[in-house]
Structure 1
Amino acid sequence: MNYLLLLAILILSSYMYYTLAEKYNLKATLTTRSLHKKPTVVGIGILFVIAIFYFFFTNSYQFPYLTGAIALIASISLLDDFFKLSAFFRIFIHVIVTVLVFYQLFNGIHLNALFIVFLLLGIGSVNTYNFMDGVNGMLGFNAIITIATFLTINYFETLVPQNLLVYVLVALLVFGFFNFRKHALAFSGDVGSTVMGIFVFFLMLLFSFKLNALIFLAMILVFFIDTFCTFCYRLFVTKENLFLAHKHHLYEKSVETLGVSHLKIAFIYAFLQLVINCIVYYSYKLSTEYQVLILLGISSLGVLGYFYFFQKLKKLHL
């Protein structure tokens, strides 16, 4: 009954939001970075927030710090979708929400090297999902694969209530109605991508610490490799302003140079993440040493693959 009620709420909410967005022109405008051809409704990722809030209010207010983090980052990101806030202010908010996730998981923070590493990972996760949400289906396909993997493992391990993960999956499917198209009706916007980024970060950290399995850090590896390598390319090769919009991501170049469709490149990225997630599923009970070797091995192959295809695309573009 709860699932049907949530589905009805999400469908009604999405219809209302889309109708209002069309009426008041709440759309992503075309810029030099845009890969879409016309202004499109933005912010439909608010559905993810509704799903998490639905869980919070129907499950005895579980995970209050996580819900607070979601509320904060969703509010700021929704404003940023329409008013373009300062990059430094956004990063400051990302730090706060990451700390809130730490409070949820560890009942506080401990200022040490590990805290700094995971703080950077949290900020990185939020921005990775944000940067990679550039073509139809990219965010949705990947998030469905990742949340479904956590759901499968959680069935055996029971680290979080299953309905939390199912609720988010339902929201992703409703979102897909608007986004999984050749010409998307709506984009998630920063409100969707940042919320999904912090939610996946929460799950990664929870599963990693509870199961003593660092391999769960691979659950965002496809997005992270593209983001990290693109960051290095801009920092050391083009030496451009890192806070300015760009079109250097491998998926962006694939769409522009090869003419690959949005949904096709999104499917390829999701399939690669699915392969990695299968490796995670079959290796999370191995010793830490083996997990680290597997994580390093997959990461190395990913980075090499990135630069191989990046160079081929550069030659084609020239």
Structure 2
Amino acid sequence: MIYLACYILSTIFILIYFKVADKYNIVDRPNERSSHKELTMRGGGIIVWFVALFYFLLNIDSSLNFFIGITLIGFVSFIDDIRTLPSRVRAFVQLFSVGVIFYDLNIFSIYPWWVILIAFIISIGIINAYNFMDGINGITGLYSCVVFASFLYTNNCVITFVNNDLLIFPIIACSIFLFFNYRKKAKCFAGDIGSIILAFWIVYILIILICRTSSIVWVMFLSVYGVDSICTILHRLYLKQ
């Protein structure tokens, strides 16, 4: 019943957002590197933040720091969708938000400084690579569904490490978003807010799983997207883009 309520309320929320985005002209304008040619609504990934809010309201005692982090990084990403922000502002907020979840998971008190430094670099790298690859209809939503489904399988069949809702809710958000995005002519794009929030959520789950098992093998859940990102970056460099 909770999942159905989340699905219905999230659908209503994104439909309301479409009205707002249309009124205030929050659109993605194609350039020479775009895979689309028409103006398309941007920021549809805001639905992921709404689902995070829904989860927070159901789990206030255990998810405050997670919600603070995802809200901060989501807010700045949404502003960047509307008007481009300086990279130093985005980088600072991303570092601070990741620091919030590190604090929530006691990373600062458990691991030495060099491990924390590496963790910061990898976390920020994943977040920005996820955002960088968000350019083809369906790619972000589908890949996120696969990753969260993999986490869900691990949580139920290998080792329990989080509340199932923390994995099911983002799948619900992605499924609704994909209905509007995974088509030849997308009604909306995730925007920075969608891709970065999804990446932040995945990083949070990944860190919990790594700490719970003392193994980094779970990073392999991101291997396909990682290889795709690296190859795309190399190709862009080759084309001097």
Output the TM-score relative to the length of structure 2. 0.93
- Deviation per residue, 1:25-69 (Å, 9 max, x gap): 211012222111101001010111111111111123322221111
Letter in structure 2 aligned against 1:224: G
Cα distance in 2, alignment partners of residues 96 and 25 from structure 1: 30
Alignment of 1:35-74 (within 5 A): 35-74=35-74
- 8 Å contact from structure 2 (residues 140, 195) kept in 1: yes
Q: Report the more deviating stretch, 175-184 or 224-233.
A: 224-233
Letter in structure 1 aligned against 2:126: S
Distance apart, 1:226 and its partner CA: 2.8
Counterpart position of 2:84:
84
Counterpart position of 2:208:
206
Distance apart, 1:111 and its partner CA: 5.5
Secondary structure in 1 matching 2:200: helix
Distance apart, 1:233 and its partner CA: 5.9
Counterpart position of 1:145:
146
| Identity of matched residues, % | 29
Cα distance in 1, alignment partners of residues 221 and 103 from structure 2: 22
**Larger Cα-atom Rg:** 1
Counterpart position of 1:5:
5
Alignment of 1:250-289 (within 5 A): none
Cα distance in 1, alignment partners of residues 236 and 175 from structure 2: 34
Letter in structure 2 aligned against 1:30: P
Secondary structure in 2 matching 1:62: helix
Counterpart position of 1:190:
192
Letter in structure 2 aligned against 1:136: N
Cα distance in 2, alignment partners of residues 148 and 166 from structure 1: 8
Cα distance in 2, alignment partners of residues 36 and 234 from structure 1: 18
Counterpart position of 2:119:
118
Cα distance in 2, alignment partners of residues 228 and 24 from structure 1: 35
Q: Which has the higher contact order (CA 8 A, sep 6+)?
A: 2
Secondary structure in 1 matching 2:61: coil
- Deviation per residue, 1:86-112 (Å, 9 max, x gap): 112211111111111211212645562
- 8 Å contact from structure 1 (residues 178, 185) kept in 2: yes
- 8 Å contact from structure 1 (residues 204, 219) kept in 2: no
Letter in structure 2 aligned against 1:69: G
Question: For 2:180, which of 178, 181, 192 is the aligned residue?
Answer: 178
Secondary structure in 1 matching 2:223: helix
Cα distance in 2, alignment partners of residues 175 and 232 from structure 1: 29
Counterpart position of 2:160:
158
- The answer to whether 1:105 aligns with 2:109 is no
Letter in structure 2 aligned against 1:132: M
- 8 Å contact from structure 1 (residues 98, 122) kept in 2: yes
Secondary structure in 2 matching 1:85: coil
Output the TM-score relative to the length of structure 1. 0.71
In the alignment, structure 2 segments of 5+ residues that lack a partner are none
Between Structure 1 and Structure 2, how many residues are aligned? 239
Counterpart position of 2:229:
227
